[in-house]
């Protein structure tokens, strides 16, 4: 992935491609039964085709995470790079309901250095 490129992973890649008019959506992910992450806590892990972990984000429910991304229709957007993935303060909600896969989110600029 180069600068300005995006990876979109979805439970139903074909639907996401059709709905948003994009291509190259990856998925489905293991255990994808809904569009929601399991409540409470969990771990999101993105692997390359050889199985190496590219990104790993632990999460735990609660008010530390952007509330609009918890069922209100906004997606979760990483806005601090590159090592703060598991810190809720490194994330914000998408600018629009329904998210904006494969597009820059204008919720604020990416901040550097990380937390």
Mean pLDDT by 10 residues, the chain (115 residues): 75 89 84 66 80 81 75 76 68 81 62 42
pLDDT of amino acid 1: 64
pLDDT tens digits for 52-77?
987 787 877 666 778 887 778 887 77
pLDDT of amino acid 102: 74
**How many domains does the chain fold into?**
1
Q: Is 47 a domain residue?
A: yes
pLDDT of amino acid 16: 87
Q: Is 111 a domain residue?
A: no
Q: Is 101 a domain residue?
A: no
Q: DSSP letters of 61-85?
A: -STTS-GGGTTSSPPEEE-B-SS-T
Contact 1, 9 (CB under 8 A): no
φ, ψ for residue 69, nearest 5 deg: -90, 10
pLDDT of amino acid 113: 43
Q: Is 112 a domain residue?
A: no
Q: Is 71 a domain residue?
A: yes
């Amino acid at each position: 992935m180069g600068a300005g490129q995006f990876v979109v992973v979805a439970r139903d890649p074909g639907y996401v491609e059709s709905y948003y008019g994009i291509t190259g959506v990856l998925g489905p992910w293991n255990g994808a039964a809904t569009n929601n992450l399991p409540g409470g806590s969990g771990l999101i892990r993105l692997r390359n085709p050889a199985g190496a972990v590219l990104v790993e984000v632990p999460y735990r429910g609660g008010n530390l995470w952007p509330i609009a991304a918890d069922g209100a229709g906004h997606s979760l957007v990483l806005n601090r790079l590159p090592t703060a993935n598991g810190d809720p303060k490194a994330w914000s909600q998408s600018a629009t309901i329904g998210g904006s896969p494969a597009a820059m989110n204008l919720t604020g600029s990416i901040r550097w250095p990380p937390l």
